[in-house]
Amino acid sequence: FDQLDGYIWMNGEFVKWADAKVHVLTHGLHYASSVFEGERAYGGEIFKLNEHTERLHESARLLGFTIPYSVETLNRACIDLLARQGFEDAYVRPIAWRGSEMMGVSAQSNRINVAIAIWQWPSYFDPAQKLKGIRLDIAEFRRPDPRTAPSRSKAAGLYMICTLSKHAAEDKGYSDALMLDWRGQVAEATGANVFFVKDGKLHTPTPDCFLDGITRRTVIGLARDRGIEVIERAILPEEMAGFDECFLTGTAAEVTPVSEIGPYKFTVGSVGTALMNDYNNAVRPKQAIAAE
């Protein structure tokens, strides 16, 4: 991945992709003092760019550091980099981390670095699997109590349990894992939020210890536009036996139907499919739809 073509925006400059390097004694690498974003561009426009950049700033604040570039500067850098890379549809990855000036848990005066990379990533899950609904295992690791970690931050450190859980699920032939929270309630997948459908209504866990995804909020809005009731509440794993449909939402995953979570089975039904189509329409810039 470090040998792709094009440029990476790094601390205010466009650097050749292969030259965008950090030192091995980077604090972000040793102590996970790093926060990032995941965005998608459709038809040459980054969907909800400003919300993502604001979340990056907020994630850093929750980890105790300030990003030395304004939201406006970073928005402009993302837009300029997308044009420079020449992609219409692409994935955008901004990241901010503490540098290599001091080594130790304390790194009060380390430089805060920021980089942005953009590449083509058409599908997060296997497209054939996605049509049939993906299969999820139930993870052993749980989302931590918000008193244990800054769970509203999109912090690299919080992804350690996600990678472990996703690998364990993949090793058993599943596409992903559903994570419970520290109380044993349904939380989210390893990189996406989860929704269920029962009697035509949406049920989704209250995001009190995991990311309240930008896609999640978009899909809640789209559902309400259709007159679908959305219920945010605590969901116990046993309740999954009574749900008709299930899908995941996330910038990378978009709206992905789920056919199975451990022992629980779901149909790829009309509500999830309608919202998947609504989302696909919502993310495309209006003039691009008109021109097609």
List residues binding ligand PMP (CB under 6 A).
38, 162, 188, 191-193, 210-211, 213-216, 249-251
For the packed helices 71-85 and 49-62, what is the interaxial angle rounded to 10 degrees?
130
Length of the chain: 292
| 211 vs 240, beta carbon nearer ligand PMP | 211
- State which residue has the least CB distance to ligand PMP: 213
CB-CB contact of 262 with 140 (8 Å)? no
Smallest gap from Cβ 104 to ligand PMP, in A, equals: 29
| 41 vs 107, beta carbon nearer ligand PMP | 41
d(CA 277, CA 275): 5
Q: How many helices (H) and strands (E) does the chain have?
A: 8, 16
Is 198 catalytic? The answer is no
Smallest gap from Cβ 143 to ligand PMP, in A, equals: 9
Burial 23-32 (b: 16+ CB within 10 A, else e): eeebbbbebb
d(CA 162, CA 142): 9
| 38 vs 133, beta carbon nearer ligand PMP | 38
Smallest gap from Cβ 14 to ligand PMP, in A, equals: 25
| 112 vs 162, beta carbon nearer ligand PMP | 162
| 84 vs 224, beta carbon nearer ligand PMP | 224
Distances (CA, A) of 103 to 36, 99, 114: 21, 9, 19
**Burial environment of residue 184 by CB neighbours within 10 A (0 to 12, 13 to 18, 19 or more):** exposed
Structure-block tokens of residue 28: 């972000």
Structure-block tokens of residue 226: 């259709």
The one catalytic residue in 48, 130, 154, 166 is 154
Smallest gap from Cβ 240 to ligand PMP, in A, equals: 18
Smallest gap from Cβ 82 to ligand PMP, in A, equals: 17
User: What are the residue numbers of the active site?
Assistant: 154
